[in-house]
Amino acid sequence: MNKVFFKVIVGLIVFSLQVGYAQLPKLKLSAPKKPTVVYDRMDVKSIKSKKAKVEFVYIVDNPNSFGVDHIKADYELLLKGKSAAKGKDVTFTIPAKTKQEFKLPLEINYLDAFESAGMLAKTIAKGKKSIPFQMDITFKIKVKPLKFDVPITTKGDLPLPKAKVKAPKKPKLKKKKLKF
């Protein structure tokens, strides 16, 4: 009885393995592909006298059949060649087989690019509408067992606040009767 039971079990295992191996060619296993990241645009949300709120928008494309978690971004924004903002390990996720936007919101202080508020005002008064920026960002992507770094440098112009020209106030004159 034990021999018969043992033969039946071995037969079932062999049959199961054959069915499993027959399915292997149907599985399309492939090595993970490198996700791509491309700079798309900078959206200006608001501009005030000393600050601007902007979003740097990147398109992230994940061609893999699985999502990628914990993508990290390190960045530095330069205004007129001077560091104006830095960030490290900004984390986000992208689902499988997806192309989506990654938005990096920043609040930029114009005084980081100018020596003083007076220099900023003088620049605006001269009619200058924008200042040059450079955004250096590196996306760190881990797709087990691989790691990818995607560095991107973007250059452009950041709009300056518009000059507020105030009309001079009319002096108030008191009427007095003059006596001669």
Dist CA 87 CA 137 (whole Å): 9
Give CA 114 to chain center in angstroms.
Answer: 25
pLDDT, tens digit, 9 for 90 and up, residues 7-24? 777 766 766 666 555 555
Could you tell me the pLDDT band of residue 27, with boundaries at 50, 70 and 90? low
* Sheet with 82-94, edge to edge strand ranges: 82-94, 68-79, 130-143, 146-159
The pLDDT of 54-81, averaged and rounded, is 90
Q: Residue 149 domain-assigned?
A: yes
Q: Residue 165 domain-assigned?
A: no
pLDDT, tens digit, 9 for 90 and up, residues 85-135? 899 989 888 899 999 999 999 998 888 878 778 888 888 888 888 889 999
Q: Residue 152 domain-assigned?
A: yes
Q: Residue 12 domain-assigned?
A: no
More confident residue, 47 or 25: 47
Residue 30 has pLDDT above 80, yes or no: no
Strands (E), the chain: 36-47, 51-62, 68-79, 82-94, 98-109, 130-143, 146-159
Provide the residue range defining the domain that includes 87.
Answer: 36-159
The pLDDT of 153-174, averaged and rounded, is 73
How many structural domains does the chain have?
1
Q: Residue 138 domain-assigned?
A: yes
Per the CB < 8 A criterion, the answer to whether 30 and 146 are in contact is no
User: Nearest Cα to 89, choosing from 107, 111, 104, 78?
Assistant: 104
Q: Residue 177 domain-assigned?
A: no
What is the pTM assigned to this prediction? Answer: 0.69
The pLDDT of 67-79, averaged and rounded, is 89
Q: Residue 57 domain-assigned?
A: yes
Q: What is the CATH number of the domain that holds 141?
A: 2.60.40.10
* pLDDT of 32: 79
Tokens of 22: 């027959």
Give CA 135 to chain center in angstroms.
Answer: 10
Q: Residue 8 domain-assigned?
A: no
Q: How many C-beta atoms surround the C-beta of residue 90 within 10 A? A: 15
* pLDDT of 20: 53
Q: For residue 110, give Cα distances in angstroms to 53, 83, 102, 146.
A: 11, 11, 24, 40
Mean pLDDT of the chain: 81
